[in-house]
Structure 1
Amino acid sequence: MKFLALISGGKDSIYNIIRCVQEGHELILLVNLYPKQIGIESDSFMYQSVGTNAIQAIAQAMDKPLMTREISGKPKITNLDYQSKDEDRIGDEVEDLYLILKEAILTYPDIKGVSSGAIASTYQKLRVEDCCNRLGLTSLAYLWNQDQFSLLDQMLQNNMNIILIKVAAMGLTQKHLGKTIQELYDYFKEINKKFGFHPCGEGGEFESFVLDCPLYKKRIHIKAQLEVQIQEQKDTIEDAQSWIEFHTLELENSEERLAGQQAWYAVQSEIYETQTAERAAQNEIVDRLQEHISEKLSTTAQFISKRN
């Protein structure tokens, strides 16, 4: 299936693209919704705002087209399933997603699926599905409801270089900005036990940015950044929100890296073909068993009928 990917720059949206590719789907387009004021935290319930000024670098790193749209709506309809009259939806931020998806499939009519990095937010997942259903698209959310430490393990196993670009939780401070998930993995376990910290940031504890992964033809390098901190009605510095504003990013390329990426895609293709063949063989066995059972049941029924 050809698909577009909703990306924020964070680990979840990028890793779900990897999972889509591993399942045999083909990435056609990247899509991002950004706030009116770049670099300013928005009050969106749906979209990550920190790091959106670096989305173009991700598109260049992947060598994929990028479609963007400014978020004009607000979170008006806050019931869980987003069920309401059409006129009530006007001005809701979800309609920005609907409109850019509509534009995307008009531009790329072969697109049939939408990748998103939903893990635990039913609120977000149902809204993506609502937009997909209205447009006849399939929602692809392979990370949904998975164990969060297991997901981090998978991301690291897939050689994703992920850094924290925002922190907003007990136990995380400005000193953790720019640190990689690999560096913080054990610390995440510690504060998970101590504070109930969500290791994938599903409670809003942090936001991330992916500097490198197997999908990238070029590695992203930060040349200049600014660390920002705000502290509103907070008692301790640990409770403050801090984030990184990217000023200058550079793409690093090499023939060795490009060859490595091509090899990764080839391996994923082989794995998918093998898994597809195995599933087909398993389905054939199941079909034969069901056919055999049906024949036995039919024979038994006939025997009982004759005896009666």
Structure 2
Amino acid sequence: MMKCVEEGHSIVALANATPPATLKKEEMDSYLFQTVGQTFVPYIAECMGLPLYQQEIQGSAIYQELEYNETSGDETEDLYKLIKRVLVDHPDISGVSVGAILSSYQANRVSHVCKRLGLEMHAYLWQREQKELFEEMLSSDLEAVIIKVAGIGLKQSDLMKSLGEMRTKLFSLNEKYGSHICGEGGEYETFTLNCPLFKKKIRVTDWSSVVHSDDIFDPVCFAKIEKVILEDK
């Protein structure tokens, strides 16, 4: 979104696909969406002073080919419904911003939805060199913390560390194992606490860790954020 603003676009709304309330757990299997940390996405909208549109994820990854074809019951159709709802209230929007860097699977699905709705997909991070992009994020006053780890060399103890704190380790894992520095291989997921687009900043005051797999080399665990407060900048 920061790149969109740099390119002269105005952000008018945020759209978020969220796990169904009946799931009663924070993380769900999805090829398309990040679900960890979803409970606190409304605080991001509040920090930006923008309306938030949310759509429960009812589908699953039924059509798993790289190039997407419209498929009933696929989770991509939940994205279509979500963006279509935004268009009802904001018929003048011309595009959708997506943070995809390397995932053609994700980018192709967002592009497919945008074409069906007559919108442009803005993917300003697409295929950027990851070391350069990571350094750019650190220098742009973006404050994000790791809330899920699922890659070799990453541990439960890395949860809730900032990208700045993780820089040396992420670069080292890239050199040793070819891990994606920006997490594009699913190595980690993040939650943004502050950036230049925020009018307020988020501070996490309570969280707990959840372990999905305690594999000694490749553990999967995430931070369940329990409570946050908004602070003036």
TM-score for both structures, normalised by structure 2: 0.96
TM-aligned CA deviation for residue 102 of structure 1: 0.9
| 1:149 CA drift (Å) | 1.3
2:4 equivalent to 1:20: yes
Match of 1:124 in 2: 106
Q: Does the alignment pair 1:158 with 2:140?
A: yes
Query: Which amino acid is 2:228 matched to?
Result: L
Matching residue within 105, 119, 126 for 1:144 = 126
Matches within 5 A, 1:262-273: none
Q: Distance in 2 between matches of 1:191 and 1:79?
A: 29
Moved more, 39-48 or 101-110: 39-48
TM-score, normalised with respect to structure 1: 0.73
Deviations 1:255-307 (A, max 9, x none): xx3xxxxxxxxxxxxxxxxxxxxxxxxxxxxxxxxxxxxxxxxxxxxxxxxxx
CA displacement 1:100-135 (0-9 Å, x = unmatched): 111111111111110010100001101100000001
- String of CA shifts for 1:140-166, please: whole Å, max 9, x gaps: 000000011111111111101111000
Amino acid aligned to 1:189: F
In structure 2, stretches of 5+ residues that fail to align are none
Q: Distance in 2 between matches of 1:38 and 1:26?
A: 35
Where do residues 1-308 of structure 1 align in structure 2 (5 Å cutoff)? Answer: 17-36=1-20, 37=23, 39-83=25-69, 86=70, 89-231=71-213, 234=215, 236=216, 238-253=217-232, 257=233
- What is the SS of the residue equivalent to 1:198? coil
Rg larger for: 1
Larger strand fraction of residues = 2
* Gap runs ≥5 in structure 1: 1-16, 258-308
Q: Which residue of 2 aligns with 1:283?
A: none
- The separation in 2 between residues aligned to 1:169 and 1:125, in whole angstroms, is 22
Q: Distance in 1 between matches of 2:27 and 2:175?
A: 29
Q: Tell me the CA shift for residue 230 of structure 1.
A: 2.1
SS at match of 1:27: coil
